[in-house]
Amino acid sequence: MKVLGIDPGSRHFGYGIVCENTMKIEYAGTLNICSSERIEERLKYIYERLTEIIEKYSPNEMAIEKIFAGRKIPSSFVLGYARGIALLVAAQHGIPVYEYSSTEIKKALTGYGRAHKIQVKGMVKNLLNHNGKISYDCSDALAVAICHIHSKSLLKVLK
């Protein structure tokens, strides 16, 4: 079973595929998109790259971070567009999608729902036995995938 984790963004879009059985990274990275591009061009780029990734690596499930509006409401709208593209691509490929809040993700990885990005990144690297460099956006995407894998395991135990 392969889980595609998504940390959506219109300028930095993190993604990572984790193999559930081995807890290893199959493929991960960040789409860094120039902010001077028009939003529709950025969304098209996300759509095309995400489609390529899914067609090449065939993940079984997608886990994506929920939107937190906070104080920057306009930014939340743009973030919603990027999420929408990810949801569309998943639907086009018949991939079930699971959503988690940032608090749920942080708590699943570190035990603390308000953990800092550096703590989450450290746990991602430890849990996946990864020594290479990864961006925070990529780390966040991998964290979503790990959160989903752990959540599924917990649900199996509780049944």
Active site amino acids: 7, 65, 137
List Cα–Cα distances, 19 to 27, 38, 48, 52, 145, in angstroms.
10, 35, 23, 18, 9
Take residue 77 and report the two structure tokens written for it: 């709208």
Dist CA 45 CA 54 (whole Å): 14
Take residue 153 and report the two structure tokens written for it: 């395991």
Dist CA 118 CA 124 (whole Å): 10
DSSP, res 66: P
Terminal C-alpha separation, the chain: 20
Which residues make Cβ contacts (< 8 Å) with residue 93, sequence separation at least 6?
A: 54, 55
Let me know how many helices (H) and strands (E) the chain has, helices first: 5, 5
Dist CA 38 CA 75 (whole Å): 15
